[in-house]
Structure 1
Amino acid sequence: MKKLTLFAGLIFSALTFGQGSPDYGGGLKVNINEDGSKYFRIISWAQFWAQHNSDRPLDANGNEQADLNFNLRRARVLMYAQVSKDFLILTHFGLNSLNSGNMTPTGTGDASQLFFHDVWAQYSLGKNHAIGGGLHYWNGISRLNNQSTLNIMTLDNQRQAWATLGLSDQFARHLGIYLKGSLGKLQYRVSINEAESNNLQAAVVPVNGGAATYTGRRLLGSKEAGKTYAGYFEYNFLDTESNFLPYKVGSYIGTKKVFNVGAGFFLHPNGSVLADGLGNLSGEDVSIFAVDAFYDAPIGKNGGAITAYALYQNNDYGKDFTLGTTYETGSMIHGHLGYVLPVKTKTKFQPYLSFDSRKIDAIDDNASQFGIGTNLYLSGHNSKLTLEYQSLKYANSDAVNTITLQAMIYL
């Protein structure tokens, strides 16, 4: 007999232990046999933004834009099923950043369309190891490049940490195969993937004698520039985090005591292309390396907790590569710190700070970003409000200051 249950078992700790909600168990789980060893599970979440920015540029018609704007930042559904302990399949779909500028009258535009974020199948290789393939999120580089969007401590992830999004992958997901597991306290994930041809520079060609462009697979072919390689390794000094699913928790809100140190990489041979003075093309390897540390622990006996994270990342996208204010050849230091106030109530406050500094080779200058905000947890990460002020200073440009209020519900 099939049963519809709320389940808080260990197998779901990757998504549930870190939520910090007193009301929420393991989510909606549907058993398809009596003992629950065969099941599927469904979760859904939405994030809505009200954002104030007085520095918005003129629109396409030369008109001033409103300071206050609304944005459906994320709307997602994720489902995974286990027909035995040896097999797992996961699907994850939704949309991102729907706003007045990309909506269409009948909802048929690209921004309104649901698309798959993840679709992958996995096979067990014993108790602590597994291999899988598909459109997956078992990324390399850093913890932030594997960040869950359900439980980010800051308003959103540090954007440059999703270092290959739209360049070699589809929305931070690669199409390929991965191997993941643990050796005692050491956890690992490595992958070999296809590089994307139709990326953010799909219509770009390198200028003779100019900077590199991320066009290797399209201009040099899949034999020379078709594959990428990634890995991330971390050691769990205190509580061991779950690696059942790839999504890394941003803040445990005092429900675990974690101290992890990690290192990761991403390599794309001939991923970028240079043109010499005569227009002859040559490939440049894309290489990204990072080291990071994550600490999250309760403080005292009244519900206080600290979350701290530090990251150093070195980005080599090719000679003098830049794309907007998001991707640059250079290096980055990022850190954030949050503190859950020690109050004996269901509602919790978590003020936080974030800062990063980027060195940009192409302009021989820096970019810096500062954020200050607070989370109001109404029921852990499952129902929270976030208010954040952020200031971005890019080289000699004026600082861009943004205030955002986010409402999030995760079921």
Structure 2
Amino acid sequence: MKKLYALLFCLALFGLQNMYSQGSPDYSGGLKVNLNEDGSKYFRIISWAQIWAQHNPDRPLDANGNEQSELNFSLRRARMLMYAQISKDFLILTHFGLNSLNADNMSAIGTGERSQLFFHGVWGQYRLTDNHAIGGGLHYWNGISRLNNQSTLNMLTLDNQRQAWATLGLSDQFVRHIGVYLKGNFNKLQYRISINDAITNNLQANTTPTSNGAAVYSGRRLLGSKDAGRTYAGYFDYNFLDQESNFLPYKVGTYLGGKKVFNVGAGFFLHPNGAVSADGSGALTGEDVSIFGIDAFYDAPVGDNGAAITAYALAQFNDYGKNYTLGRTYETGSLIHGHLGYVIPSESKTKFQPYFQFDNRQIDALNDAASSFGIGANVYFSGHNSKLTLEYFSTKYANTDAVGTLTLQAMIYI
């Protein structure tokens, strides 16, 4: 524990020395370069990093049967995003970076199979009208829920609810599909819909269905792209109070009271024949994958002293095929998720936001449930641009013992 306390102290100093460097409310975010006099043509670059230190006393033995350290460091995210408005009608966006770099997956010289750097998005967009646009490429205009369209720059909790990124690595590349999308709004109703190709070499690229009847998510690989190669997604949310921006697809996690927002949304993801099962003779049958979500988001100031509340709730219904499970992440069944945060009143630029989150998952294949809860706090030295997050998160999966992890994150973005 002495090592952990020393680590917390050092990372706190790291955050303090950056508290006046950049960030909202006194920093607009990113490097914007105008390409003409009126600024209608420009490009903007945004970069961010999230550094983690995790303490987990319940880590399993490694592949050689050795005990593992309870304290570990990782680079959770290191990203760079650039978008350019080359005219009032055309936009291009490029997003690349890495995720979860640690001592076990680093490469000796930064190359080879363990290289982490890849494109998270590359798409072009054409403005149809002031309120509607069409685009295509490797994009993040997803369906299902707000959390499946979550920005990683301004989450309330330490990280996103993992099961809410419900197609990650199954039909897409890290929650991004290659396809076309249509997005816009009709007054207070925002929408995004897309038609995409499913990935062939997904997380189950080396898995074959067996006669136990459980589905495998490998429809495109086993049945062909004609019958199982297309996915369809959409998300619709009604903005009862302040209108949120949908210029980019990334949904804000918490505005810290900077807006007064109340949205109710619903979305879907459909992949005909996305999963495959086998009968006793080994004959393969396609099964449709369908995921639906209903959610609500509220973020508003409380009084005039800097206090604010953020609340979110999601009900998600997953059908990946009969008795589908993959690890402890994907299951046919249902998910209920909620989180709540409160910005403590303060006249200072430094703000404190304790929060709580919970999940309950029903798992058809196990005829059982999984549950988790997290409690933590954000310290904002200059909004989301410079912050520390400390969170304790515990998960109990079916009849196994609960596993708890303490994580400290330092985040900077410009």
Q: Aligned match of 2:229 in 226, 230, 254?
A: 226
Structure 1 residue aligned with 2:344: 341
Structure 2 residue aligned with 1:410: 413
Query: Matches of residues 270-289 of structure 1 in structure 2 within 5 Å?
Result: 270-289=273-292
User: Aligned pair in 2 of structure 1 residues 343, 66: CA closer, same or farther (>3 Å)?
Assistant: same
TM-score by length of 1: 0.95
Between the aligned residues of both structures, percent identity stands at 78
Structure 2 residue aligned with 1:91: 94
CA–CA separation in structure 2 for the residues paired with 1:396 and 1:20: 44
Three-state SS of the structure 1 residue aligned to 2:365 is helix
Verify the 8 A CA contact 2:255 2:299 in the aligned structure 1.
Answer: yes
Unpaired runs of 5+ in structure 1? 1-18
Structure 1 residue aligned with 2:175: 172
CA–CA separation in structure 2 for the residues paired with 1:22 and 1:33: 27
Three-state SS of the structure 2 residue aligned to 1:224 is helix
1:374 counterpart letter in structure 2: A
TM-score by length of 2: 0.94
Structure 2 residue aligned with 1:204: 207
Structure 1 residue aligned with 2:307: 304
Query: Matches of residues 364-379 of structure 1 in structure 2 within 5 Å?
Result: 364-379=367-382
CA displacement at 1:105 relative to structure 2: 1.4
Verify the 8 A CA contact 2:155 2:253 in the aligned structure 1.
Answer: yes
User: Aligned pair in 2 of structure 1 residues 72, 26: CA closer, same or farther (>3 Å)?
Assistant: closer
Three-state SS of the structure 2 residue aligned to 1:362 is coil
Verify the 8 A CA contact 2:219 2:274 in the aligned structure 1.
Answer: yes
CA displacement at 1:382 relative to structure 2: 0.3
User: Aligned pair in 2 of structure 1 residues 46, 199: CA closer, same or farther (>3 Å)?
Assistant: same
Unpaired runs of 5+ in structure 2? 1-21
Structure 1 residue aligned with 2:55: 52
Verify the 8 A CA contact 2:23 2:413 in the aligned structure 1.
Answer: no
Q: Verify: 1:141 aligned to 2:144, yes or no.
A: yes
Deviations 1:280-329 (A, max 9, x none): 00000000001000000000111000000000000000000000000000
1:159 counterpart letter in structure 2: R
CA–CA separation in structure 2 for the residues paired with 1:327 and 1:271: 14
Structure 2 residue aligned with 1:121: 124
CA–CA separation in structure 2 for the residues paired with 1:358 and 1:342: 35
Q: Aligned match of 2:322 in 312, 319, 323?
A: 319
CA–CA separation in structure 1 for the residues paired with 2:152 and 2:105: 22
Verify the 8 A CA contact 2:307 2:344 in the aligned structure 1.
Answer: yes
Deviations 1:72-109 (A, max 9, x none): 00000000001111000000000000000001211114
Deviations 1:48-68 (A, max 9, x none): 000000110100110000000
Three-state SS of the structure 2 residue aligned to 1:84 is coil
CA displacement at 1:23 relative to structure 2: 2.0
Three-state SS of the structure 1 residue aligned to 2:227 is helix
CA displacement at 1:110 relative to structure 2: 3.8
Q: Aligned match of 1:41 in 30, 41, 44?
A: 44
CA–CA separation in structure 1 for the residues paired with 2:374 and 2:38: 48
CA–CA separation in structure 2 for the residues paired with 1:325 and 1:378: 35
CA displacement at 1:114 relative to structure 2: 1.5
Verify the 8 A CA contact 1:95 1:111 in the aligned structure 2.
Answer: no
CA displacement at 1:231 relative to structure 2: 0.1
Verify the 8 A CA contact 2:344 2:351 in the aligned structure 1.
Answer: yes
CA–CA separation in structure 2 for the residues paired with 1:266 and 1:75: 28
Verify the 8 A CA contact 1:174 1:195 in the aligned structure 2.
Answer: yes
Structure 2 residue aligned with 1:185: 188
CA–CA separation in structure 1 for the residues paired with 2:368 and 2:129: 50
Q: Aligned match of 1:268 in 268, 271, 284?
A: 271
2:377 counterpart letter in structure 1: T
CA–CA separation in structure 2 for the residues paired with 1:326 and 1:104: 26
Is the deviation greater in 154-163 or in 203-212? 203-212
Verify the 8 A CA contact 1:20 1:252 in the aligned structure 2.
Answer: no
CA–CA separation in structure 1 for the residues paired with 2:24 and 2:196: 36
Structure 1 residue aligned with 2:356: 353
CA–CA separation in structure 2 for the residues paired with 1:351 and 1:322: 33
Q: How many residues align?
A: 393
Three-state SS of the structure 1 residue aligned to 2:209 is coil
2:194 counterpart letter in structure 1: S
CA displacement at 1:111 relative to structure 2: 4.1
CA–CA separation in structure 1 for the residues paired with 2:317 and 2:38: 48
2:122 counterpart letter in structure 1: V
User: Aligned pair in 2 of structure 1 residues 111, 375: CA closer, same or farther (>3 Å)?
Assistant: farther
Three-state SS of the structure 1 residue aligned to 2:38 is coil
User: Aligned pair in 2 of structure 1 residues 409, 111: CA closer, same or farther (>3 Å)?
Assistant: farther
Three-state SS of the structure 2 residue aligned to 1:263 is strand
CA–CA separation in structure 1 for the residues paired with 2:112 and 2:371: 34
CA–CA separation in structure 2 for the residues paired with 1:333 and 1:110: 37
1:162 counterpart letter in structure 2: W
Q: Aligned match of 1:29 in 32, 38, 43?
A: 32
CA–CA separation in structure 2 for the residues paired with 1:111 and 1:145: 26
Verify the 8 A CA contact 1:322 1:329 in the aligned structure 2.
Answer: yes
Verify the 8 A CA contact 1:98 1:111 in the aligned structure 2.
Answer: no
4+ residue runs over 6 A deviation: none
1:143 counterpart letter in structure 2: R
